[in-house]
Amino acid sequence: MRNIDITKKRIGIIGGGQLGKMMILEAKRLGLYAAVLDPAADCPAHSICDRHVIAGFDANEGYFELADHADVITYEFEHINAEALQILENRGHLVYPSVTSLKAIQNKYEQKNILNRNDIPVPRFAAVAGTDEIREYGEKDRFGYPLMLKTATGGYDGKGNALIHNEREIENAYRLLGGGAKGLMVEEFVDFEKEISIIACRGIDGTRVIYPIGENIHVNSILDTTIVPARIGDTAINEAASIADRVMEVFEGVGTFCIELFVAKNGKVYVNEVAPRPHNSGHYTIEACFANQFENHIRAIVGLPFGNVRLISPAVMVNLLGENDGAASLAGLEEAYRDPDVHVHLYGKACSKTGRKMGHLTVVNSTVDGAVEKARRAKSLVRVIGW
Ligand code: ADP
């Protein structure tokens, strides 16, 4: 048997936000060294990392410096400099998930093309160059209205999307999304019953594990609540799980991925998008599964077998968003903690902004209904206010 001291491995993470911080917490459980690249001196991961490279995400320099302090590089978000990572990968640095899978996912249009080519169901979509083409897809015999317009790159939390209800809204939507500077695509509007997501992990050797399915509720295009297990029928559950497994195969992802899907009112399941990283909708795994999405991500990228992804108990996760702008302060924690099923996570962001993700809370309970009720109560108590 080979004797490898895994604890000597150094992990480099691009992005020191809450996802990077939660990756480090798990890396530390295994005694690993963790370096972070983030331009913000006080980013959430700063307080617990071994080294912080303070540099931007656009230029190459920060990536190269991070690589000097890492045996394996990973990332907490996908809008990063893939060319810098490509140079590092070419020089023999380990980057997981691979730069090929990152590039395939960075562009939503390319991502959908790959899924479509591999017979993975997605809503009908098309690249569009200008308003005339958008108008064509709005016609009844094409996708019709309402019609989704999306930027191909750079979108998150719905910021690259516009829903067009009729022809008169086209010009405005086109301008709102930057007039094509980031590439544009149209997509048929899915009249969905539920939005769901699946956290899946794939190892360097191709081994895959799939977490239980979460049901997601978005408010203003930002994730508000995840309920697990998702309240959908067995057919949709099996279909979604098999789609997620195929997605992991297609992208040859190493690490934790999130596959967001729609369950349409007609019962069909479609992939909305794939994220090559742990995801907000997988935070429930911290309390509700034996091995959480961050632990299995770290295990994957250092070449260890996966921990058990089984659900211990139903769970509900609710995001804690900043209520206004100002220095962040927290209210209601003591009262919320009178219920021992409530678990609050605060990301350590000094500044609150309206709608900014400041933390989340997870409630575990023996029933889904019980967890929903307790989460609703806890959310009304715990508030992040700016002063
Ligand atoms: P982002 O990458 O910014 O999160 P998404 O493409 O996931 O953007 O879209 C954000 C939200 O917009 C989705 O969670 C869903 O509620 C809605 N949405 C996106 N695409 C469609 C679609 N084709 N049909 C219906 N709703 C959609």
Place of tokens 């910021």: 159
Q: How far, in Å, is the centroid of ligand 1 from the Cα of 142?
A: 20
281 Cα: distance to centroid of ligand 1 (angstroms): 14
> Would you say residue 50 has pLDDT above 80?
yes
pLDDT of 3 above 70: no
Mean pLDDT of 126-150: 96
Tell me the best of 157, 221, 260, 266 to mutate to test the pocket of ligand 1, counting ligand atoms within 8 Å of each CB and taking the most.
Answer: 221
Pick from 107, 217, 262, 272 the residue to mutate for probing ligand 1's pocket: most ligand atoms within 8 Å of its CB: 272
Closest atom of ligand 1 relative to the 223 alpha carbon: 14
> pLDDT tier at 1 (50, 70, 90 boundaries)?
low
Supply the mean pLDDT for the chain: 96
The mean per-residue pLDDT over the stretch 71-84 comes to 97
Atom of ligand 1 nearest to the CA of 156: 3
Residue 317: pLDDT over 70? yes
Q: What percent of the chain has pLDDT over 90?
A: 94
pLDDT at 156: 85
Asked if the model's pLDDT at residue 157 lies above 90, the reply is no
Distance of CA 332 to the CA centre of its chain: 28
Report the pLDDT value the prediction gives residue 209, as an integer from 0 to 100. 97
Nearest to 112 by CA among 227, 272, 253, 243: 272
d(CA 57, CA 215): 32
Cβ-Cβ contacts under 8 Å for 192 (sequence gap 6 or more) = 262, 263, 264, 265
Assign 158 a pLDDT band (cuts: 50, 70, 90): confident
Tens digit of each residue's pLDDT (9 = 90 or more) over 250-295: 998 899 999 999 999 999 999 999 999 999 999 999 999 999 999 9
The pLDDT value recorded for residue 181 is 87
Which pTM value belongs to this model?
Answer: 0.95
Q: How many other β-carbons are positioned within 10 Å of the β-carbon of residue 100?
A: 14
Residues in the ligand 1 pocket, defined by CB under 6 Å? 123, 148, 150, 155-161, 187, 189-190, 195, 218, 221, 260, 272-273
pLDDT tens, position by position, 200-234 = 999 999 999 999 999 999 999 899 999 999 999 99
CA gyration radius for the chain? Answer: 21
Helix (H, G, I), strand (E, B) or coil at 154: coil
Whole-number Cα distances in Å, 99 to 102, 103, 181, 249, 251: 5, 6, 23, 16, 11
